[in-house]
Structure 1
């Protein structure tokens, strides 16, 4: 953030105001990001305590993810109309309240319902967090803001399993959600007086388009999940077909809309479209790697769960360290070139992981993961900056929602493709194919990123 000379009490107040706003946004992002990793790690413990089968307990995760993916674009569009700070504060309030309900839940259906509300609250946070940073940071420092956002997400992603393990070692699983309550209240106390007021849109919110969007993404994510869980083809195929039908209806309805919920107006901007494609491909790489590698480490190398967690940590830690540096560089150099260089490094890292020897040492694994982390970190912040800069200020919500949607879709696609690799080729060979597929996605993302230099 650009700090002006402190020549008056007003400038001091403005500086404090900005930093409180940044702290509020980052704490909200941390809570929504950390909750995914914590719930994933604690799922077996929760399922055992609630006497739920592994298949049904998955809905503790699915309910949260589907609620986010299905509503993030409508909430981003609503933020452009009524103000991003209102959506953020409402989302953070719902997230905090539903976390308390999750902690008090005594049955799986009640917990799944509370997780759905929690996902809706997290969607409110994720849909407008980057848009708020655009109004907090001046244009020439926006890269620093998105870099800090990437650092927060990467750090929470890396420490999530450790935090869950520490809490479960001294308390029961409800405290995994209960800890969100005081932190959420703290974020609200910082957000209410400090978040900036963004310009309000004059167009109306299209409730029908929002419903079409919710159905489209819900059925799409359900189809991918059903395919991963070996459900009959009629179930996931029918759900996928429904997603395509509702997607076509949504595009037809919003074709001539100047501020559509599904931001097809922004996709007409070549840099925005290429940046979104780059994001989806890159997060698919992350999804492929983070699902395939644990199976490889534990099933082939016979590492324990704790050892696997430490082996995977370098990727996320280096992303968290690299992203702020890349964000600052993107304020001075082309995000397309920075992203292309990072994705080329990611391609080399994924290729080296696919070529791991039969009995690799710890150093062999860590060096390859560090390479992947550096590459991913150098892509993430510049790409977010490119997405936000390509959209006009009045469409900041749509651009911010696209960032969140691209990340979630990419991760979901990567996980689904990994499951398909395991289904068709088995554990060892399937993990290898998934890593090679990740290298291919990284190369495709690199080409898409560098293509932006010609636009």
Structure 2
């Protein structure tokens, strides 16, 4: 079985397996943003305040962050395909509950359940890709995965607007039900099994609880800071985070196979790739959150114009991600990642230095630079994170990949709020300069990987 898995799946089964990964990740990523567009409508329909309705979004994100590493660990223990299939069932049922919700409380709880299902899908998707593709073609699998994430992220608001133009907000969630059923049937038929760990390796419940508290407090503190909560409350959350985090890390260092893969972080190639990922997603979120304000407030563009001018970014990422997946088979990931982040940094600095009355073309080519640079970086970086870990720890590596992305995005959103509070109307401009600087840092981290040998799993 191990030899077969190391060579990937035969072609007919491979296509079926990658299709179920594509469908599952599309749903999980889409639902992270698809509800944003409908928040005012949902709040009005459920008689909730705009501030309270934010929990419809926050509940989903927090549920993913607090459970991602635990589910990845379970994937290493009992099989990635089992975790993925359970995730599909939970996500599909929770989507139905979201659609049937008649109160904010019920919808929030359903979104928590949906987040747990989404976390199961995200926690093992890249570990499954490692089993689906032969090692020599793993870059292509990572390229497809990066492409799907980019398309789903970019298409979220558009798909939501299209659905809301012909149906009620409940259909934002109901569309997941038939897709979830199809994905589950494909998963049962095509997903490969991975060898489970020895029974001597047990799931450590205290670690799972401390993991949830640590990352939950981190996201809550960042979100509270971004939304202008009282300083006392934010400081209290940070202090509690440091206390729980200290005992969490200390416990992980004593475990032979830790929930938080600190043992993998001792691998230079792995830790450098995680640092690169956090910096890159932080830079991306800084730009994507601040750019709408920049274009509308500073440049005087309309909402529709802003949406169209932002589109070249994800389109360029969509084009470059599969190409980067092919290049990784021939070029060192450290070089590709450094080049991609350098290109993205040039695009971000160019955006920050836009003239006061730029033409559409002035904005578009800068957006293309940003998106192309990120697309060139993402697939090789994901490939390296997964390949640098031992095959038996693919779940832990996959969980860390998702956690790094979410931490980077959450930090980036909080930093935009800090820039707005500190610099007022100039906050958008400073955010872009900070994003460019973080992209440079990410390029440096990635460049350091060139000194490490290319991984051969």
What TM-score comes out, normalization by structure 2 length?
Answer: 0.95
Deviation at 1:267, TM superposition (A): 0.3
Equivalent of 1:282 in 252, 274, 280: 280
1:439 matched residue in structure 2: 436
The superposition leaves residues 185-211 of structure 1 with CA deviations (integer Å, 9 ceiling, x where unpaired) of: 111111111100011112111111011
Q: Distance in 2 between matches of 1:258 and 1:148?
A: 34
Deviation at 1:275, TM superposition (A): 0.2
Does the CA contact (< 8 Å) of 1:259 and 1:395 recur in 2?
no
2:6 matched residue in structure 1: none
Cα RMSD (Å) of the superposition?
Answer: 1.2
Does the CA contact (< 8 Å) of 1:284 and 1:438 recur in 2?
yes
Q: Distance in 1 between matches of 2:103 and 2:94?
A: 15
Q: Distance in 2 between matches of 1:312 and 1:85?
A: 37
1:220 matched residue in structure 2: 218
1:377 matched residue in structure 2: 375
1:5 matched residue in structure 2: none
The superposition leaves residues 74-129 of structure 1 with CA deviations (integer Å, 9 ceiling, x where unpaired) of: 10011000000011111111111000000111111111111011000000000000
1:143-154 equivalence runs, <5 A: 143-154=139-150
1:9-158 equivalence runs, <5 A: 14-158=10-154
Equivalent of 2:241 in 240, 243, 247: 243
1:342 matched residue in structure 2: 340
Secondary structure of the corresponding residue to residue 254 of structure 2: coil
2:5 matched residue in structure 1: none
1:211 matched residue in structure 2: 209
Say whether 1:256 aligns with 2:292: no
2:289 matched residue in structure 1: 291
The superposition leaves residues 165-201 of structure 1 with CA deviations (integer Å, 9 ceiling, x where unpaired) of: 1111001101001111111111111111110001111
Q: Distance in 2 between matches of 1:302 and 1:160?
A: 25
Q: Distance in 2 between matches of 1:303 and 1:173?
A: 28
Equivalent of 1:174 in 159, 170, 173: 170
1:7 matched residue in structure 2: none
1:368 matched residue in structure 2: 366
Secondary structure of the corresponding residue to residue 311 of structure 2: helix
Secondary structure of the corresponding residue to residue 294 of structure 1: helix
Deviation at 1:374, TM superposition (A): 0.7
Secondary structure of the corresponding residue to residue 330 of structure 2: coil
Equivalent of 2:350 in 332, 349, 352: 352
The range that moved more, 201-210 or 299-308, is 299-308
Q: Distance in 1 between matches of 2:26 and 2:185?
A: 16
Q: Distance in 2 between matches of 1:333 and 1:244?
A: 40
Q: Distance in 2 between matches of 1:279 and 1:138?
A: 24
Deviation at 1:304, TM superposition (A): 2.6
Deviation at 1:37, TM superposition (A): 2.1
Does the CA contact (< 8 Å) of 1:38 and 1:176 recur in 2?
yes
Query: 5+ residue gaps in structure 1?
Result: 1-12
Secondary structure of the corresponding residue to residue 255 of structure 1: helix
Q: Distance in 2 between matches of 1:379 and 1:110?
A: 40
1:4 matched residue in structure 2: none
Q: Distance in 2 between matches of 1:418 and 1:32?
A: 25
